C-alpha cells in the first residue's frame, strides 16, 4: 500500500516518522497535545477542518495534497479549478490599472454593464459552478478595477462585489490566504461607505476563519454589524437588515470556532431576531447576496454546534431544516455546503452512515461543492475508515481518488 492509499491518520504517522519526529515533537509544533496527535494517527479523531490539514502539512513540510490522498487533482474539474485559481492569483497580482494614465482610465466599461456581470458571477457561485466562475473572475476583476480608477466612488460597489465573490470561492477551494487578500482589498475600496464596508467584512470574516483565526474574525464581524445596526434598524430596508443579520451569523461561527459556546449562542439568537424582521430574502431583495433569513440562521446553529463538537445537538437541529419548504428554495451552493456541515455533525455524533448519506446528497445537489472542496475530501477520507463503507460513498471515494 502506497502512502497516498493509506488513511489520513496513517499518512500523518508515516510522514512524521520519516521526519524523525516523535508525537510530542509534532504536537509541540502544532500547539496540540501528544494525545491529540496519537488519536489523529489512530483514526480516532477526524481531521474535518482544512486549516488543521494545512497546519499538519506545514509541520511535516509537505503539500496538503499529500495528506488528502492520492491524485487529489486527478479529475478534469479539479485541474480546471487549480488553473482557475492561478488565473485569479495573476489577476490579483496586477497593478497596471492603478498605474495607468488618465487616457487609459477613461475607457473603462460603464457601471451598469459591470453590475450585470457581477450579478452573473454571483449566480454562477450560487450554482456552485466554480471552474466557470474562476474563468470569468480575472477579466471581471480587471474591468471593475479599471472602472473604479476612472470613476472613483461611483464604481466602488461593483469592485467590492467582485472582490467579495472572488474571496468567497477562494475560501471554498481552500486558498484562504488569497481569499483574505481579496476580502482585504474589498474593505479598502469600501472605506467611507459603512454598508459597503459591512458587505466586505463578510468574506473577510470567512477568510480569517478559514486561516484558523476565529478571534480576529469575530472582532471584525461584530464591529461591522454594530456599525450598521442603528442605520439598518432605523431605515429598515431589507437588504441592509439582511447584511446586519449575516454579519451576526458570521460572528457566531467565529465565536464557535474560538470555543465560545455562550457567545455563539447569543450571536445566533440576535441573528434570529433580525431574521424575524426580514423573513426569507429572495434574490430581488438581496442586494448584498447574503442568502439571509430564518432558514440560514437555523443552518448556522447546526454549523456552530459542529464547530463546538456538539454532534448530537447538530443532528437534532438538522432534522428540522431539510424537511421545510424553504430548504428547497435555497441556492444549490448553500444547500450542499450545509450538508457537509450536517455530515460532520453526524460523524461527531457517531453515525457514519448518516454522515455518508449527507455527503452523497451534497454531491447530488452541487457536485463541485464536494469534488473541489478540501473540507469535503477530508470528510470523505474519514468515512472510508468506517466499515462497512456504503456503496454510494465508496463510489464517490473512487471518483475522487480517496483511498
Q: Which of 102-111, 175-184, 238-247 has the lowest mean pLDDT?
A: 102-111
C-alpha cell, 313? 445537538
> How far are the Cα atoms of 2, 65, 268, 353 from residue 137, in angstroms, in the given order?
38, 25, 32, 38
Q: How far apart are CA 352 and CA 388, in angstroms?
A: 10
pLDDT in tens, 357-385: 999 999 999 999 999 998 888 888 888 88
Q: Which of 70-84, 239-253, 306-320, 335-349 has the lowest mean pLDDT?
A: 70-84
3-state SS class at 7: coil
In a domain, 5, yes or no: yes
Within 13 Å and on the Cβ side, how many CA atoms surround 319?
A: 7
Q: How far apart are CA 34 and CA 19, in angstroms?
A: 17
Share of the chain above pLDDT 90, in %: 52
Q: What is the pLDDT of residue 103?
A: 56
Domain extent, residue 21, equals: 1-72
Q: Which of 67-76, 89-98, 225-234, 270-279 has the lowest mean pLDDT?
A: 67-76
Q: How far apart are CA 397 and CA 403, in angstroms?
A: 7
CB 280 within 8 A of CB 294: yes
Q: How far apart are CA 10 and CA 103, in angstroms?
A: 60
What would the DSSP string read from start to end of 53-116? HHHHHHHHTS-HHHHH-TTTT-SHHHHHHHHHHHHHHHHHH--HHHH--HHHHTTPPPHHHHHH
Place of cell 494517527: 41
Tell me: pLDDT of 323 over 60. Answer: yes
In a domain, 25, yes or no: yes
Q: Which of 26-30, 101-105, 351-355 has the lowest mean pLDDT?
A: 101-105
Place of cell 498605474: 99
Share of the chain above pLDDT 70, in %: 88
In a domain, 1, yes or no: yes
In a domain, 379, yes or no: no
Q: How far apart are CA 383 and CA 355, in angstroms?
A: 8
CB 203 within 8 A of CB 164: yes
C-alpha cell, 188? 479598502
In a domain, 8, yes or no: yes
In a domain, 42, yes or no: yes
How many domains does the chain fold into?
A: 1
In a domain, 90, yes or no: no
In a domain, 329, yes or no: no
**Segment (H or E) for 51:** helix 50-60
Domain CATH code at residue 35: 1.10.260.40
Which positions ≥6 away from 315 have C-beta within 8 Å? 342, 345, 346, 349, 351, 354
What would the DSSP string read from start to end of 169-192? HHHHTT-HHHHHHHHHHHHHHHTT
Amino acid at each position: 500500500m502506497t502512502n497516498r492509499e493509506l488513511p489520513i491518520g496513517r499518512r500523518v504517522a508515516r510522514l512524521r516518522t520519516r521526519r524523525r519526529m516523535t508525537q510530542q515533537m509534532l504536537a509541540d509544533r502544532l500547539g496540540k497535545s501528544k494525545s491529540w496527535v496519537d488519536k489523529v494517527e489512530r483514526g480516532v479523531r477526524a481531521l474535518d477542518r482544512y486549516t488543521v490539514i494545512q497546519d499538519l502539512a506545514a509541520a511535516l513540510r509537505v503539500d496538503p495534497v499529500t495528506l488528502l490522498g492520492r491524485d487529489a487533482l486527478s479529475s478534469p474539474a479539479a485541474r480546471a479549478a487549480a488553473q482557475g485559481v492561478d488565473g485569479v492569483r495573476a489577476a490579483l497580482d496586477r497593478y497596471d490599472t492603478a498605474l495607468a494614465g488618465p487616457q487609459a482610465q477613461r475607457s473603462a466599461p460603464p457601471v451598469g454593464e459591470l453590475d450585470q456581470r457581477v450579478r452573473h458571477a454571483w449566480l454562477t457561485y450560487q450554482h456552485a459552478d466554480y471552474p466557470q466562475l474562476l474563468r470569468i473572475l480575472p477579466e471581471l476583476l480587471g474591468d471593475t478595477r479599471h472602472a473604479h480608477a476612472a470613476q472613483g466612488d461611483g464604481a466602488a460597489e461593483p469592485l467590492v462585489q467582485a472582490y467579495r465573490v472572488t474571496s468567497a470561492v477562494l475560501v471554498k477551494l481552500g486558498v484562504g490566504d488569497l481569499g483574505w487578500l481579496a476580502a482585504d482589498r474589498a474593505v479598502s475600496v469600501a472605506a467611507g461607505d459603512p454598508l459597503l464596508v459591512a458587505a466586505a467584512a463578510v468574506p473577510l470574516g470567512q477568510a480569517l476563519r478559514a486561516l484558523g483565526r476565529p478571534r480576529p474574525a469575530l472582532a471584525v464581524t461584530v464591529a461591522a454589524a454594530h456599525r450598521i445596526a442603528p442605520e439598518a434598524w432605523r431605515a429598515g430596508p431589507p437588504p441592509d437588515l439582511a447584511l446586519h443579520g449575516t454579519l451576526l451569523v458570521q460572528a457566531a461561527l467565529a465565536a464557535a470556532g474560538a470555543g465560545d459556546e455562550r457567545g455563539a449562542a447569543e450571536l445566533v439568537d440576535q441573528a434570529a431576531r433580525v431574521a424575524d424582521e426580514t423573513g426569507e430574502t429572495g434574490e430581488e431583495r438581496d442586494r448584498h447576496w447574503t442568502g439571509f433569513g430564518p432558514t440560514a440562521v437555523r443552518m448556522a446553529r447546526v454549523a456552530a454546534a459542529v464547530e463546538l463538537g456538539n454532534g448530537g445537538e447538530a443532528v437534532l437541529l438538522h432534522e428540522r431544516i431539510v424537511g421545510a419548504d424553504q430548504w428547497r428554495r435555497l441556492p444549490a451552493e448553500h444547500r450542499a455546503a450545509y450538508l457537509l456541515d450536517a455530515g460532520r455533525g453526524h460523524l461527531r455524533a457517531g453515525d457514519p452512515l448518516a454522515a455518508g448519506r449527507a455527503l452523497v446528497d451534497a454531491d447530488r445537489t452541487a457536485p463541485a461543492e464536494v469534488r473541489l472542496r478540501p473540507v469535503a475530501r477530508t470528510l470523505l477520507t474519514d468515512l472510508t475508515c468506517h466499515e462497512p463503507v456504503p456503496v454510494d460513498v465508496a463510489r464517490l471515494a473512487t471518483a475522487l481518488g480517496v483511498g
